[in-house]
Amino acid sequence: MAAPKLVTTRDVFLFIPNLIGYSRVVLALASLGYMSIHPKVCTVLYGVSCLLDAFDGMAARKFNQSTRFGAILDMVTDRCTTSCLICFLSARYPTWFILYQLLISLDLASHYMHMYAMLSSGVQSHKKVSKDRGYILSLYYTNSKVLFIVCAANELFFVALYLYSFPLKTSPYLGYIQSVPLSFATILGVVTFPLWLLKQIINVIQLVNAANVLAERDVEERNKLFEESAKTK
């Protein structure tokens, strides 16, 4: 590991993992341009943007360039790209628009509250979740493989719904199962659905846990003020 040295704000912005983060933003924005007109190009751009999410973390650890800015950039990019895709799905599947609104709200609320709760507790990274906060949430954030698989499955499920919303070219050899074309999008959706559902459950757990952490901090601060006030009397 390289010896620590003085850095500037410009240096932080140009750290390797943050450069990867900027490329994710560019790819995500490009995918939006193709989202309604070219599903294949959009899927590739969106997929590469999501895939790079794993590499910025690896670069941060390898080059000792983990930063608060990078962590926020990473989370904001994830939330924005997923929300944009879900917004498109709500237009493609208007019958389910309320569900999509709830999914966006749950995703944003749970991650924002979790990030704020962890940082307000003095934890440097929102991924440092101890086991006393629950086995599932701790495993999700501390095991990089679990985190990657669940997050990837979550995105792929939404991508499957996105691809399925376009006209399908079915193979005469595969036929139909209950009038549903046995397409790539169908298979992808069926395979990733269980982990997508697990991700939504984790979001709920994360939201409840963050609320508890914030309430505990409020209790500690108020009780401390009460004790200090009692001593001065």
Mean pLDDT by 10 residues, the chain (233 residues): 76 95 97 94 96 89 89 92 97 96 96 88 73 85 91 96 80 50 85 97 95 92 85 74
DSSP E strands, 91-179? 176-177
Q: What is the chain's length?
A: 233
Beta bridge mates, 231: none
- Return the half-sphere exposure (C-beta side, CA atoms, 13 A cut-off) of residue 201: 11
Give the pLDDT of residue 10. Answer: 94
Give the pLDDT of residue 128. Answer: 75
Of 98, 155, 147, 150, nearest to 126 by C-alpha is 147
Q: Enumerate residues 6+ apart whose C-beta is below 8 A from 64.
A: 1, 2
Give the pLDDT of residue 92. Answer: 94
Question: By three-state DSSP, how is residue 177 classified?
Answer: strand
Integer Cα distance of 211 and 108 in angstroms: 14
Integer Cα distance of 74 and 47 in angstroms: 15
Structure tokens belonging to residue 195? 């982990």
Integer Cα distance of 90 and 93 in angstroms: 5
Give the pLDDT of residue 79. Answer: 94
Give the pLDDT of residue 2. Answer: 54
Give the pLDDT of residue 45. Answer: 97
- Told to judge if 107 belongs to the known catalytic residues of this protein, a careful annotator would answer no
Integer Cα distance of 156 and 191 in angstroms: 10
Structure tokens belonging to residue 2? 């390289």
Structure tokens belonging to residue 55? 């590499």
Select which of 53, 56, 78, 107 is catalytic.
78
Q: Name the DSSP letter for residue 105.
A: H
